[in-house]
Structure 1
Amino acid sequence: MIKSMTGYGKGEYENELYRFKIEIKSVNHRYNDISIRMPRHILYLEETIKKAIKEYILRGKVDVFINLEYVNNTAVDIDVDINLARAYKIALEDLKKELGLEDNIRLNNILGVPEIIKMEKKDIDEELILDSLNKSLHIALEEINHMKVSEGKVLKKDILTKLDTIEENLNIIENRAPKIVLEYKSRLSQRIKELLDNNTLLDEDRLNNEVAFFADKSSIDEEIVRIKSHIIQFRSILDEENTVGRKLDFLIQELNREINTIGSKANDETITKQVIELKAELEKIREQIQNIE
């Protein structure tokens, strides 16, 4: 089963104290690069989070955004300094009277004093916070995994179609290859006859030797066999359960090498045209597998 490296997942979970919202985004990358943005006071959980992510995502650039909220302020202590607030109100009233102001004293005037209301977070319940984090993370990972698998199926179908096209072009080359030698022999024979006198006999042995040398030099049988073998292996890898992106990337390089060799050996317009088509399809596949995990 192939997976795309591109995906998105979101998970939310809350218990009696904490509410987690987690977003995970992944894109193409050569390695497994995980970046996490999270509240500072739970940074100690970073490695635990990365370990959980690596069980789902083996390759790609992964960005994780973690938001932690406290449910109903149950994890927050609020301390109001009534005496300070009262003293501040009296001071404002005296100032109002002294300056002859008509403005009313409002609550907002008092709340602006930092020391009147203090808010402090209670010590976190590490076991409970880990439980809610894991559950929201699991939801996000399941969602992104589903998206990656779905897109992977689309990629696989497209790659298989392109492999079929490559095989069709390769069959044209394979059928054309034997005719090149026969045509070369015919052209060479005709050329020699044109250069010789009518009374001069054609040396068939020398002609056959020259044709045999040409046939050996231009033979692409081995390249065709290897390309067919690579295509079979390509399809087999697409059905594997583990990560296959790097394997496919290696096979693409091997296929490209064999196709280039055919292009350099075969001095034939038809084969050259098919080599161009092969390279075009191969490049399309190469672009697709850049997004495979």
Structure 2
Amino acid sequence: MSVYSMTGYASAQHNPAKEGAEGDNKHSANSRLGIEIRAVNSRFLDLSFRLPEELRACEPALREKLNAKLKRGKVELRASIESTSSSVVTEPSTRLLQRLNAIQDHVKAWLPSAQPLSVAEVIRLAGDESQPGKDWQAETLQLADEVLDALMAARKREGTRLAAMLFDRIKQLRALAAQAEPLIPLLVTQQRQRFLDRWAQAMELTDGQAKSEMAQDRALTEATAFAIRIDVAEELTRLASHLDELERLVKKGGDIGKRLDFLIQELHREANTLGSKSAALELTHISVDMKVLIEQMREQVQNIE
């Protein structure tokens, strides 16, 4: 499966001219249906719809389609029906004008401050009356499928880019871990020799009154305690394990965003522990570089479905 981003955008319009000469009615030929879907990241699937009154009945079917394809994200679907016959002005009939005038008088009797109808509003009402209603459900659901497919393609392209970025950061983290691993035995050896040198100096100051074997044993004990304190082998092992799992999930694809987010938290914890146990400047630099890479991964993982 592929990796999908939660962010994406797609839109399309329904062209009545493609229906041929056997259209439903003149209303469909003079109107244009448009649908657009916007998606951004979110912890859960959050759907919202902005539909004109003519398409309110389509909302359950549209919601079902989105639920079938999307797992996470804040998704907004907008639909609109626009008239394409802007050059045609419908002349209102006398009957319509009489009815509008009577309605207006009735409204003003109860609401004296109400504004009177404008010429533009009367013409619009005349156009609505002359054009019978149309059932847009079939066209809406068909167009929604097209837009949803385009959205999934856009999310897949973005997901592919995010996966490539994660693979690159995983590679860099492995390289940093490989740099850190040989530093620990070297530090332990150096510190052991440093303890022995200090105890040798202490022996010289005591003029041989202390037993050299005891001094050496004490130095070795201190060196061992130091080695245990700075040992990050366990952290490096867990970090490698988390990187293996993260790489496996990205290759697998699908609904992996939440699991990736958890693994990023674990990576950050190991990098922090590595820094807290640091006994050399080189290890501190490695820990900082790791945390920078992990933070970059965290920002991008927030967008993966």
With structure 1 as the length reference, what TM-score do the two structures score? 0.80
| Contact kept? 1:35, 1:62, Cα under 8 Å | yes
| Contact kept? 2:199, 2:219, Cα under 8 Å | no
Structure 2: stretches of 5+ with no match in the other structure? 99-118
User: Could you tell me which of 152, 160, 164 is aligned with 2:167?
Assistant: 160
Give yes or no for the alignment of 1:24 onto 2:25: no
Q: Which residue of 2 aligns with 1:43?
A: 56
Structure 1: stretches of 5+ with no match in the other structure? 86-110
Cα offset for 1:175? 1.3
User: Greater shift after overlay, 131-140 or 64-73?
Assistant: 64-73
Task: Give the 3 Å change call, closer, same or farther, for CA 78–119 of structure 1 in structure 2.
Answer: farther
CA distances 1:1-36 after superposition (whole Å, capped 9, x unpaired): 211111111122345244421011111222211221
Identity %: 27
User: Could you tell me which of 172, 178, 181 is aligned with 1:174?
Assistant: 181
Q: Which residue of 1 aligns with 2:12?
A: 11
Report SS of the residue matched to 2:37.
Answer: strand
Distance 2:91 2:46 in 1: 41
Cα offset for 1:260? 1.0
Report SS of the residue matched to 2:178.
Answer: helix
Letter in 2 for 1:12: Q
| Contact kept? 1:3, 1:151, Cα under 8 Å | yes
- Structure 2 counterparts to residues 106-185 of structure 1, below 5 A: 114=122, 117=126, 119-120=128-129, 122-125=132-135, 129-185=136-192
Cα offset for 1:119? 3.4
| Contact kept? 2:96, 2:126, Cα under 8 Å | no
Letter in 2 for 1:179: L
What is the aligned residue count?
Answer: 262
CA distances 1:245-290 after superposition (whole Å, capped 9, x unpaired): 1111100000111111111123221111100010011111111111
Task: Give the 3 Å change call, closer, same or farther, for CA 112–179 of structure 1 in structure 2.
Answer: closer
With structure 2 as the length reference, what TM-score do the two structures score? 0.77
Report SS of the residue matched to 1:122.
Answer: coil
CA distances 1:228-250 after superposition (whole Å, capped 9, x unpaired): 01000001110224211111110
Q: Which residue of 1 aligns with 2:68?
A: 55
Distance 1:84 1:144 in 2: 46
Give yes or no for the alignment of 1:276 onto 2:288: yes
User: Could you tell me which of 251, 257, 265 is aligned with 1:239?
Assistant: 251
Distance 2:302 2:91 in 1: 53
Q: Which residue of 2 aligns with 1:221?
A: 233
Cα offset for 1:48? 1.6
Report SS of the residue matched to 1:143.
Answer: helix
Task: Give the 3 Å change call, closer, same or farther, for CA 124–191 of structure 1 in structure 2.
Answer: same
Task: Give the 3 Å change call, closer, same or farther, for CA 112–165 of structure 1 in structure 2.
Answer: closer
Cα offset for 1:130? 2.0
Q: Which residue of 2 aligns with 1:97?
A: none
Report SS of the residue matched to 1:23.
Answer: strand
Give yes or no for the alignment of 1:290 onto 2:302: yes
Distance 2:121 2:78 in 1: 34
Cα offset for 1:114? 4.3
Letter in 1 for 2:69: Y
Q: Which runs of 4+ in 1 moved over 6 A?
A: 70-73, 82-85
| Contact kept? 2:92, 2:122, Cα under 8 Å | no
| Contact kept? 1:34, 1:50, Cα under 8 Å | yes
Task: Give the 3 Å change call, closer, same or farther, for CA 83–134 of structure 1 in structure 2.
Answer: closer
Report SS of the residue matched to 1:62.
Answer: strand
